[in-house]
Amino acid sequence: MKAFVDEDTCIGCGVCESLCPDVFKLGEDGKAHVIANDCSAGCCEDAKDSCPTGAISLK
């Protein structure tokens, strides 16, 4: 499973990075970026469920 962030929807709140720092990282553009190819860790689901704008998808 891989995580994706919709950069148009992301507001850069940092919740995903704080919950799952091995997968999500805020960039200098103020948007979250996916830094891991694999997202089987449970924290990815937590990040997806906790994103306030629904910007994260898992496929």
- Residues binding ligand SF4 (CB under 6 A): 5, 10-16, 24, 32, 51-53, 55-56
Shortest CB 32 distance to ligand SF4, Å: 4
Conformational region of residue 12, where left means phi above 0, alpha means psi within -120 to 50, and beta covers everything else: left
Shortest CB 1 distance to ligand SF4, Å: 16
What's the count of helices (H) and strands (E) in the chain, helices before strands? 2, 4
Residue closer to ligand SF4 (CB basis): 8 or 37: 8
Residue closer to ligand SF4 (CB basis): 13 or 36: 13
- Using a 10 angstrom Cβ sphere, with 0-12 exposed, 13-18 middle and 19 or more buried, the burial of residue 50 is middle
